[in-house]
């Protein structure tokens, strides 16, 4: 047990970090390994890989994931902003390169290859974009000579245009929703809420008209009798056959028919083998992380920290909600992973970056430290004054 009397970077970190948040994140990682034992083997055998290939790879990725969360959580507010800005710039550039030169996978160019190593840059753009946008909004609120609101407005198209070129409508929609949440928290008038809502619906309709794969997914979702939605059928069937208590670990049938049972549809596999009760516990764990993050955001006096914590928490919660909504047939398929539960190297490392930012921002800091990291010449301001 670490003593409060010891003054080392490690003890300072331990007594200022939110340990409940950390415990919940680590619990998700362990749960992901357990659930992947059911969803991974059938997919691995189907494509000629060793039975526990995905499980072993996920366990291997967890070591750098935990190290990255801990390393990033040591950063100061200034360090968080700098790392996020560098990551966002590099991520947007790599997204452009992936759309132009990346391999085509399922009709999209979302990956970029570095030899035998594949990277999905859009995963890293998401948490970095949230922090950079929160930074722009907060600067606009605190400095009259800083056009933070304009910069925050420009950040969205700069970020989503490379994603649309890939195309990646799911990530575009997620980033846009998080940006709107930040805009609202930063003091958006209700009339602008309505305007953004209309623009959002217009964007979805435009995607339906101009993107073939989006139109196809919507049509399959709306017409369940079209015969093309076998994923929809088996994801729905998994919960029906699993019931409240499940068929037992390894006893599921749906995972042998779902092509992405280890990634997009891991929640369905969990529902069949472990039952609805375990799924509800998993939902409660995600809800705890989201509510804990929002509670900590409300407590902080720093404008940037409050906006960034809110945005990162919203990003984390929305991604989980979208994945679970797809699995339970509440919305069309989006190809989005369940945080820390689905298999994926890029997904895990990017989540480690985002949650590392979140853990760092939610650390208890003396008010003098918070003020000392603000740029000179700033004046106290409320968040609501950003876009008034």
- Identify which of 317, 265, 244 has the alpha carbon closest to the alpha carbon of residue 24: 317
> Strand, helix or coil at 112?
strand
CB atoms within 10 A of CB 366: 9
Higher-confidence residue: 74 or 385? Answer: 74
Higher-confidence residue: 286 or 242? Answer: 286
Integer Cα distance of 28 and 34 in angstroms: 10
User: Could you read off the pLDDT of 34-46 as tens digits, one per residue?
Assistant: 998 888 888 888 8
Integer Cα distance of 316 and 275 in angstroms: 24
Bridge partners (DSSP) listed for residue 117 = 114
Integer Cα distance of 59 and 266 in angstroms: 16
**CB-based burial of residue 330 (10 Å sphere; 0-12 exposed, 13-18 middle, 19+ buried)?**
exposed
Tell me the pLDDT of the chain averaged across its residues: 81
Integer Cα distance of 3 and 5 in angstroms: 5
Integer Cα distance of 302 and 364 in angstroms: 12
Characterize 141-166 residue by residue with b for buried, 16 or more Cβ atoms within 10 angstroms of its Cβ, and e for exposed.
bbbeebebbebbeebbeebbebbbeb
Q: Specify the range with the lowest mean pLDDT, choosing from 15-29, 90-104, 123-137.
A: 90-104
Q: CA of 245: how far to CAs of 167, 191, 242, 272, in Å?
A: 39, 47, 7, 9
Q: How confident is the model at residue 30 (pLDDT cuts 50, 70, 90)?
A: very high
pLDDT of 159 over the 70 cut: yes
**pLDDT score recorded for residue 262:** 83
Instruction: Please give the backbone phi and psi of residue 272, each rounded to the nearest 5 degrees, phi first.
Output: -75, -45
**Bond preceding residue 218 cis, omega within 30 of 0:** no
- Identify which of 170, 199, 205, 179 has the alpha carbon closest to the alpha carbon of residue 332: 170
- Identify which of 327, 316, 359 has the alpha carbon closest to the alpha carbon of residue 242: 327
Integer Cα distance of 222 and 59 in angstroms: 38
* Report field, pTM of the whole predicted structure over 0.75: yes
Pure H helices in 223-333 = 230-242, 266-274, 276-299, 303-327
pLDDT of 298 over the 70 cut: yes
Q: How confident is the model at residue 387 (pLDDT cuts 50, 70, 90)?
A: very low
Instruction: Please give the backbone phi and psi of residue 352, each rounded to the nearest 5 degrees, phi first.
Output: -65, -40
User: Could you read off the pLDDT of 261-290 as tens digits, one per residue?
Assistant: 888 888 888 888 898 899 999 999 999 999
> Strand, helix or coil at 250?
coil
């Amino acid at each position: 047990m670490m003593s409060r009397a010891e003054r080392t970077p490690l003890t300072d970190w331990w007594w200022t970090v939110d340990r409940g948040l950390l415990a919940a994140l680590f619990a998700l990682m362990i749960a992901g390994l357990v659930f992947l034992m059911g969803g991974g083997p059938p997919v691995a055998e189907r494509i000629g890989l060793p039975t526990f290939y995905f499980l072993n790879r996920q366990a291997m990725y967890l070591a750098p994931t935990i190290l990255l969360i801990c390393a990033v959580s040591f950063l100061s507010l200034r360090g968080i902003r700098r790392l996020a800005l560098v990551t966002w710039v590099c991520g947007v550039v790599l997204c452009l390169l992936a759309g132009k030169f990346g391999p085509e996978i399922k009709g999209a160019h979302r990956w970029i290859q570095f030899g035998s190593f594949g990277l999905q840059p859009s995963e890293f753009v998401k948490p970095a974009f949230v922090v950079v946008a929160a930074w722009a909004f907060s600067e606009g609120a605190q400095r009259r000579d800083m056009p933070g609101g304009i910069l925050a407005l420009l950040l969205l198209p700069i970020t989503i245009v490379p994603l649309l070129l890939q195309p990646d409508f799911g990530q575009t929609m997620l980033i846009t929703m998080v940006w709107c949440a930040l805009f609202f928290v930063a003091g958006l008038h209700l009339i602008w809420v309505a305007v953004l809502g209309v623009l959002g619906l217009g964007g979805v309709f435009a995607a339906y008209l101009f993107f073939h794969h989006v139109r196809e997914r919507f049509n399959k979702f709306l017409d369940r009798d079209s015969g093309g939605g076998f994923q929809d059928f088996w994801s729905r069937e998994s919960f029906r056959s699993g019931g409240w208590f499940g068929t037992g670990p390894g006893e599921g049938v749906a995972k042998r028919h779902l092509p992405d049972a280890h990634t997009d549809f891991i929640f369905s596999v969990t529902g069949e083998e472990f039952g609805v009760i375990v799924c509800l516990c998993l939902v409660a764990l995600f809800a705890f992380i989201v509510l804990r993050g929002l509670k900590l955001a409300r407590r902080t006096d720093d404008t940037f920290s409050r906006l960034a914590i809110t945005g990162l928490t919203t990003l984390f919660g929305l991604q989980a909600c979208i994945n679970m909504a797809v699995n339970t047939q509440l919305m069309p398929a989006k190809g989005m992973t369940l945080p820390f539960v689905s298999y994926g190297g890029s997904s895990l490392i990017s989540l480690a970056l985002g949650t590392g930012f979140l853990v760092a921002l939610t650390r208890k800091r003396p008010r003098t430290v918070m003020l000392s990291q603000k740029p000179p010449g700033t004046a106290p301001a409320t968040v609501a004054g950003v876009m008034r």
